[in-house]
Amino acid sequence: MIDPAPYIAAIPELTPVPCGTLTRSVGLLLEATGPELPVGALVTVRDRGAAAVCEVVGFRDDRLLLLAIDETRQVSPGSLVAPLHLTFRVGPWILGRVLDGLGRPLDGIPIPPEGEEIELEPPAVPAMERGLTATPLDVGVRAVNALLTLG
């Protein structure tokens, strides 16, 4: 008999992603049931092979109110709504390129596969673990300079 242990060990561990469904669309405002997300979170709405990026802008009863950032021509009721974890690939390719707010090039040339991938919203460093301000920043307002050290 074949031992299934090495095959089971070879299967990558998957983390389930909480998803929801699109229930309503009026212009650029979409309404969806779905995971509990804070205002400002980004989601993707997927249907028929197309995906639209949206931002959570509010709540109504137990539904999320989403504002579309991308075109929503392909979405329909029942489309899959999933949280979006943004990363960005950095490297020399970025010099001289024009990017949108999500880091996508606007010139139509694809992003090359090389480069370091970073999170666009990394977790904040706890306040007590941050370094001291070595050089204070003069903001030009004496009251702010006196009461709030920036730098």
Per the domain annotation, does 8 fall within a domain? no
Per the domain annotation, does 50 fall within a domain? yes
Per the domain annotation, does 129 fall within a domain? no
The candidate with the shortest Cα–Cα distance to 95, out of 81, 109, 82, 79, is 109
**CATH number of the domain encompassing residue 74:** 2.40.10.170
Domain count for the chain: 1
Per the domain annotation, does 124 fall within a domain? no
The H-assigned helical ranges of 1-141 are 5-10
Per the domain annotation, does 105 fall within a domain? no
- Residue 94, pLDDT score: 86
Round to whole Å and give the CA distance between 97 and 36.
36
pLDDT tens digits along 84-115: 888 888 888 888 889 888 888 898 888 888 88
pTM of structure: 0.68
Q: Which residues contact 77 (CB under 8 A, 6 or more apart)?
A: 21, 22, 23, 24, 25
Per the domain annotation, does 59 fall within a domain? yes
Per the domain annotation, does 90 fall within a domain? no
- Residue 66, pLDDT score: 95
- Domain range for 63 is 20-83
Task: Per-residue pLDDT tens, the chain, 151 aa: give them.
Answer: 788 888 888 888 878 888 999 999 888 899 999 888 999 999 999 988 888 999 999 999 899 999 999 888 888 889 999 998 888 888 888 888 898 888 888 988 888 888 888 887 778 889 899 888 888 889 999 998 888 888 7
- Two tokens, residue 54: 């949206």
Whether 138 contacts 150, CB under 8 Å: no
Per the domain annotation, does 54 fall within a domain? yes
- Residue 100, pLDDT score: 85
